[in-house]
Amino acid sequence: MKTPTLVDRKHAELLYKLFDKFALDDQRAYYIDQVNRNRTAAAQVNVIRAIFAFLTGLAAALAGLIVLLSPAYCVPSTTGAELALLGAAATDDPSLVVTAVPPDVDTATESASDTVVSDGCNLDLVIFLLVLAVVAPALGGAFGTLADLYQWDRLVKIYELAADNLEVADAKSPIDSMTFEDYRITLKAYAEGTLAVMRDETAQWGQIIRTPESIDNFIRREQERVQTNVGNLPQQVQDAVKKELDELRAAAAATERRLQQIRDTFGITDVPPPPTA
């Protein structure tokens, strides 16, 4: 079967129209869409991270302020020490070291929880702020890692560059007034240029996809933690397990010796040798 490729001008024109619409235009629309989507995602995550950073600072500062303005007896010494650390350490103010209980309360009978509900105290709010100051940076950090995972900013650059390069390829489009030979050569150069842009974009994209280092470190750390916390049995348990195993080994060896005696007695030779321990 012989069918000449690009038999005539009309064939070339049809191919140009099809490639232009279904390869180049589709690819251009894809790049523009990806640039917009990645840019929006990067901006959204950036705002979320900024909000969490802001909340962290605000919670710590507010907790410090409340401690400073509250009557000293409101705050148990332990919580006061934490607040002093979190909220007002920078001030080096020794007055932040507060007493555990109101001066008029009998320390022998009053528990710390009773001081939480004392009139004029804001301990619930302070504890909430403390927790917020602890949890917010963790969540902010998670969104930072999410940005590392999706690489939105770098993808925006890659797709923008690819879209620009696609315009260069598009500029080589054949035009109607060309002779068939020129049209054919230009069409090939134009299509080859477009495919080259697609190929380069895929190669660059493949290079930036990496697992964020922080996630790798987290997995390694947690594996070590499990080894430390769960892997180490108490010495008593380890000794008991060892004793059981030794007894089992001894019993197996005794059984094997007995079997060997029976084999020797009856001259059995076609039994496979026992597996070595």
Site string for another protein, 201-220 (x = CB under 8 A): -x---x--x-xx-xx--xx-
1 lies in the binding site for another protein (CB under 8 A): yes
Residue linked to tokens 């999410």: 146
Can you read off the two tokens belonging to residue 190? 């134009």
Of the pair 147, 260, the CB lying nearest another protein is at 147
Residues 6+ away with beta carbon under 8 Å from 252 = 277
DSSP 70-108: S-GGGS-HHHHHHHHHHTSGGGT-GGGS--SS-TTS-TT
Cα–Cα distance measured from residue 139 to residue 52, given in angstroms and rounded to the nearest whole number: 7
Cα–Cα distance measured from residue 29 to residue 128, given in angstroms and rounded to the nearest whole number: 48
233 lies in the binding site for another protein (CB under 8 A): no
Cα–Cα distance measured from residue 42 to residue 146, given in angstroms and rounded to the nearest whole number: 10
By CB under 8 A, which span of 40-48, 57-65, 94-102, 197-205 interacts with another protein?
Answer: 197-205
Cα–Cα distance measured from residue 77 to residue 96, given in angstroms and rounded to the nearest whole number: 10
25 lies in the binding site for another protein (CB under 8 A): no
Chain positions 87 to 146 lying near another protein, rule: CB under 8 A, are 130-131, 134-135, 137-139, 141-142, 145-146
Residue linked to tokens 């696609």: 166
Cα–Cα distance measured from residue 35 to residue 28, given in angstroms and rounded to the nearest whole number: 11
By CB under 8 A, which span of 80-88, 116-124, 155-163, 266-274 interacts with another protein?
Answer: 80-88
CB 23 → another protein: shortest distance, Å? 5
Q: Which residues bind another protein (CB under 8 A)?
A: 1-11, 13-15, 17-19, 21-23, 78-79, 81-82, 85, 130-131, 134-135, 137-139, 141-142, 145-146, 149-150, 187-189, 191-192, 195-196, 198-199, 202, 206, 209, 211-212, 214-215, 218-219, 222-223, 225-226, 229-230
